């Protein structure tokens, strides 16, 4: 297998998986896609992820979404714009006096760091699901404070369980700040 970037990105096409024929790259930063794997003596699972370079805008997109559109830099940029538009316009629909900004930021942050926490695949997937639920609620027409509190508390607990990495600690602090904004 060649180490050079091929014309295809392994997103489909010939029916072969990326490891069989192509390398998959982020079209914006050329960060290579690493498939999920089981590594080492302890069979530690490594989640599928893109190794984005610092500052890559595509890192705000969930891995599976990016993998599905990685052939087209234009589609990736459109998806980034859509994600950012959702984050920028959610406050216009807020009628209960809840500013969901902190919740959207927390959900996005957790999505970015989830693959760096060293969690087992099932726990990482659950963490990302809760982050997506928080994002969906925070950007909904009428975000409910109780649901925001529920999802944020779940994220905080999962981040505490993930350990004391810098990324997890920062996520816990963001969750506490968001919960503080709700008032108890």
Q: What is the pLDDT of residues 77-104, one digit of tens each?
A: 898 888 777 766 554 444 456 778 899 9
pTM for this model (two decimals)? 0.52
How many other CB atoms sit within 10 Å of the CB of residue 143? 24
Alpha carbon separation from 54 to 31, 46, 151 (Å, rounded): 10, 20, 28
Q: What is the pLDDT of residues 26-46, one digit of tens each?
A: 888 888 887 776 665 555 666
The pLDDT score that the predictor gives to residue 57 is 84
Check residue 183 and report its DSSP letter: -
């Amino acid at each position: 297998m060649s180490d050079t970037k091929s014309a295809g990105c392994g997103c489909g096409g010939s029916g072969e998986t990326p490891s069989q024929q192509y390398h998959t790259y982020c079209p914006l930063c050329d960060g290579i896609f690493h498939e999920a794997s089981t590594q080492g003596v302890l069979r530690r699972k490594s989640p599928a992820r893109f190794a984005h370079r610092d500052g890559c805008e595509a890192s705000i997109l969930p891995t599976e979404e990016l993998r599905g559109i990685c052939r087209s830099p234009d589609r990736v940029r459109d998806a980034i714009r859509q994600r950012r538009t959702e984050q920028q316009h959610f406050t216009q629909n807020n009628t209960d006096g809840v500013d969901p900004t902190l919740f959207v930021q927390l959900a996005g942050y957790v999505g970015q760091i989830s693959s760096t926490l060293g969690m087992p695949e099932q726990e990482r997937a659950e963490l990302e699901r809760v982050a997506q639920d928080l994002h969906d609620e925070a950007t909904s027409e009428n975000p409910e404070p109780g649901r925001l509190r529920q999802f944020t508390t779940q994220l905080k607990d999962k981040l505490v369980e993930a350990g004391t990495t810098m990324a997890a600690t920062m996520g816990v602090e963001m969750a506490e700040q968001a919960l503080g904004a709700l008032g108890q």
